Amino acid sequence: MADLENRIPCLTNKFIEIYGVPPQTIVRAPGRVNLIGEHTDYNDGYVLPIAIDRDILIGAAPSAEPTVCLYSVNFDRISMFSLDDIMRDPINDWSDYPRGVAYMLQKRRKKIGGANLVIQGDIPLAAGLSSSAALEVASAMAFQALDEFEMSGPEMALLCQAAENEFVGVNCGIMDQFISRLGRKNHALFIDCRTLEHEAVPLPEDGIKVIVADTLKKRGLVDSEYNVRRAQCEEAVSILRTYLPSIKALRDVTAPDFRRYGRELPPTVRRRAEHVIMENSRVLESVEALRHGKLALFGRLMNQSHESLCDKYEVSCRELNALAEAAWRIPGVYGSRMTGAGFGGCTVSLVAADAVEEFLERVPAEYRARIGVTPSVYVCTPEGGAEVLMNEPQEA
């Protein structure tokens, strides 16, 4: 966030260079890291993410033509599309996110006009920090600023999720778009992914830091395995419904119900269901722990979440385990776990402020010794969700 002061003028200059006029509006949408509640969102469950100080900025201005022109500073590429027939761009696949948002806006009968956009971001790509969700949300914010349609925060998050599901073709849950749109500074957001009720839970401002460590592993398996996990959860629900006819999702299965009927599930499906059911209770417990300043308990729940994702849900990997285990060995680390879909990406650690230095020294060194790669490590601050930074509509 601190360097927004530099990034905004750079974005404005780039905009003038490409389009010959300054942008009418500048918006930002952040990436996210999930503290706890993994693979629960698509089971109608609970999550507790934070928006982070890494984001996508978009500068935008209306254009006279019924086309949208996108320029990506990061890729130094232009991609254009007609609003009359929005299709994917296989050469510039980064542009599919704004394209998908425009497509969904039209599908929901929001009137949008032609526009020129410049996109710049500092969220590491393909690291599991939701750069795609941030790009979707930033695009929706830009169109909203230009075209002035009504849309609540939750409605925008749902629209961006639909763009990703229906247009881009990735079957994600609601967490990433929701936190990018509705995060709150210095808070984690406790989200009920069924009702979309949400509550900002304060994080202590002094004394603790959130550290994200990136394995730098390519997440090759993530999309196919993600869909397999979703299908296994659905299978669990359909079998358990024989005994518990009122359940709609794994969110509705209590721990005592599971102890009773879990044995009816095939072994792999049983392990997947157990993770989701116990992870939901861990989120509820961790929100209480945070409210009462019980950071040690919160950290233990994070560690349990990691173990369950590793052993029961089987979405961790050698690299994620190496990072989490290195963190666990440092006194002053409350908890550490893989975050996001898995198979690579990042860990998130909750660290006492006076242990940060040791963390930054030891975790990358141990990871390098075990895996042979130096991980990227970021000390993150919990930021607010998407916002309009500037909007100066021109007189017609």
* Residues near ligand GLA, by CB under 6 A: 38-39, 41-42, 172-173, 175-176, 340-341
Whichever of 51 and 172 has its CB closer to ligand GLA, that residue is 172
Whether 249 and 44 have beta carbons less than 8 Å apart is answered as: yes
Q: Give the Cα separation of 178 and 5 in Å (integer).
A: 26
Tokens (6 digits) for 61: 């201005």
> Is 176 annotated as catalytic?
yes
Q: Give the Cα separation of 98 and 109 in Å (integer).
A: 17
Q: Closest Cα to residue 351, out of 369, 366, 337, 339?
A: 337
Whichever of 36 and 68 has its CB closer to ligand GLA, that residue is 36
Side-chain-facing half-sphere of 173: CA atoms under 13 Å: 23
Sequence letter at residue 28: R
Q: Give the Cα separation of 28 and 56 in Å (integer).
A: 6
Whether 161 and 171 have beta carbons less than 8 Å apart is answered as: no
Residue 264 CB, shortest distance to ligand GLA, in Å, is: 26
Whichever of 100 and 173 has its CB closer to ligand GLA, that residue is 173
Residue 223 CB, shortest distance to ligand GLA, in Å, is: 10
Residue 57 CB, shortest distance to ligand GLA, in Å, is: 22
Residue 35 CB, shortest distance to ligand GLA, in Å, is: 11
Pairing of strands 115-121, 187-192: unpaired
Residue 58: its H or E element: strand 46-62
Whichever of 26 and 301 has its CB closer to ligand GLA, that residue is 301
Side-chain-facing half-sphere of 86: CA atoms under 13 Å: 24
Whichever of 59 and 344 has its CB closer to ligand GLA, that residue is 344
Residue 41 CB, shortest distance to ligand GLA, in Å, is: 5
Tokens (6 digits) for 168: 């881009």
Q: Closest Cα to residue 21, out of 138, 143, 116?
A: 116
Q: Given 176, 223, 257, 311, which residue is catalytic?
A: 176
Residues recognised as catalytic: 176
